[in-house]
Chains A and B, each alone.
Chain A
Amino acid sequence: MDLSSDEIIVERALTGDAEAFGEIVRRWERRIFALTYGMLGREEDARDATQETFLAAFRNLRGFRGEAKVSSWLHRIAVNQCISRQRRSRVRSESALEDEQENDANLFASPISYSPAHVAEGRQQTAAVRRAVNSLPLDLRQVVVMKEFEELTFREIADVLDLPLSTVKSRLYTAMKQLQMRLQKFESRN
């Protein structure tokens, strides 16, 4: 067995090696951040969710069973963190959503001459994608983020979400279709 594998490192952490869990964090921090960023859409929220993910993982280290991969286990924790954060902030975000929608409306309606051409156009496009992804239903968004942000394979996504492979492909297809329509709408408004 590879001595540097995640599973071995988790075992070391369980036996009291203080450095071991830090190594796990170093390995997965960026990908978990990518996941939470894609799911939450805000850098600050993503940072908090990433931190909470690793805290939760550390607290539940003894509950980790070697059956699953460490990466799948961490992803599951991260997805749950994102879902609970969104639930907690639903009420708060309602007003924020209104603001965002207003911004969206301004953004979609804003004339090109409003901004210094290219850079602004790119920013608008990025903002439009972000909002399009954020507006996807959670189950679709998860798959998009895992595929595009974390570059997991369909099999890995199926393992993390405990879904059949065909369902993962189907969800991603649906998500892509919806994103395509939203982005087309954005482009037609511009």
Chain B
Amino acid sequence: MNERNNSPDCERAADLMAFLYNEASESEASDFQLHLQECGSCRAELASFGTVRESITAWRDEALSGFVSSPALKKPSTKSAVAALRQFFDLSPLWLKGATALAAVTFCVLAGLAIAKRENNHLSSTQVNQGNVYTQQDVDRIVKEELAKQKKAEPSPVETASDSALAVKSPKPKALRTATPDQLVKSRRPLSRAEREQLAAELRLQTTDDATLNLLGDRINQ
């Protein structure tokens, strides 16, 4: 320890440096602390070196605060959305925080209302279906479908009367039961002879003369 005319006043300069930089072991440190009580030179140097260190640290912090890593080497940011949001709130002024909170509350309320409204619509539509109530469009569509089916099922001349009777006996579609009278009239077709005969039989009308059957058919068709 005698370089450049800065030879230490005490032979324990190496211990002083280890103590100054917290690199002394526990026993070395306690031993040096005992030495400090006796050695004024080491005490003075420890204090003045501490001041030098503080000055260097201030310079270092100032110098390194301007250090920016090369942009090409920067890792892509993996900051989470929550962290970004937190940073945004930390940096925002008070009024912006308030406005953001108000906007969030408004959004939540509107979203809640929209959901509630949707739930109501869903419930009412479910109830409507349960009560077998159809809209005008539904009725029109069902009537058209039934008409098309009936056209297809129209008995050909060779078809037997029993087939026709089955067709007459077949239950009426639900839509027709609830359709308006006008639509029912429109949807009805004149009964064929075989149907009229079947109907007469069911009504225990034993007659088969054309005049009675026609009258019955006309009534029904009306």
Interface residue tally on A, bucketed by range: 35 or more
A147 to B62, CA, bound (A): 17
Whether A25 sits at the interface, judged by CB under 8 Å, is yes
A148-B53, A166-B14 given as contacts; is B3 within 8 A of A171 (CB)? yes
Q: Given A122, A128, A177, which contacts B6 in the complex, CB threshold below 8 Å?
A: A177
Whether B118 sits at the interface, judged by CB under 8 Å, is no
Verify A37–B64 contact, CB threshold 8 A. Answer: yes
A148 to B61, CA, bound (A): 11
Verify B21–A147 contact, CB threshold 8 A. Answer: yes
A29-B70, A154-B18 given as contacts; is B57 within 8 A of A148 (CB)? yes
Q: Given B3, B55, B75, which contacts A129 in the complex, CB threshold below 8 Å?
A: B55
Question: Which residues of A128-169 are within 8 A (CB) of B?
Answer: 128-130, 133, 137, 144, 147-149, 153-154, 166, 169
Verify A30–B69 contact, CB threshold 8 A. Answer: yes
Verify A33–B67 contact, CB threshold 8 A. Answer: yes
* A148: B residues at CB distance < 8 A: 53, 56-57, 60
* A137: B residues at CB distance < 8 A: 4
Verify A26–B23 contact, CB threshold 8 A. Answer: no
Verify A169–B58 contact, CB threshold 8 A. Answer: no
Verify B58–A30 contact, CB threshold 8 A. Answer: no
Verify B59–A26 contact, CB threshold 8 A. Answer: no
Whether A34 sits at the interface, judged by CB under 8 Å, is yes
* B45: A residues at CB distance < 8 A: 177
Question: Which residues of B136-156 are within 8 A (CB) of A?
Answer: none
Count how many chain B residues have C-beta atoms less than 8 Å from C-beta atoms of the other chain: 33
Count of A-B residue pairs with CB < 8 Å:
92
Verify B52–A176 contact, CB threshold 8 A. Answer: yes
Verify A25–B64 contact, CB threshold 8 A. Answer: no
Verify A34–B64 contact, CB threshold 8 A. Answer: yes
Q: Given A125, A166, A171, A179, which contacts B58 in the complex, CB threshold below 8 Å?
A: A125
Verify A25–B21 contact, CB threshold 8 A. Answer: no
Whether A93 sits at the interface, judged by CB under 8 Å, is no
Verify A26–B73 contact, CB threshold 8 A. Answer: yes
Question: Which residues of A12-48 are within 8 A (CB) of B?
Answer: 22, 25-26, 29-30, 33-34, 37-38, 43
Question: Which residues of B1-24 are within 8 A (CB) of A?
Answer: 1, 3-4, 6, 8, 13-14, 16-18, 21, 23
Chain B contacts to A: CB under 8 angstroms: 1, 3-4, 6, 8, 13-14, 16-18, 21, 23, 45, 48-49, 51-53, 55-60, 62-64, 66-67, 69-70, 73, 75
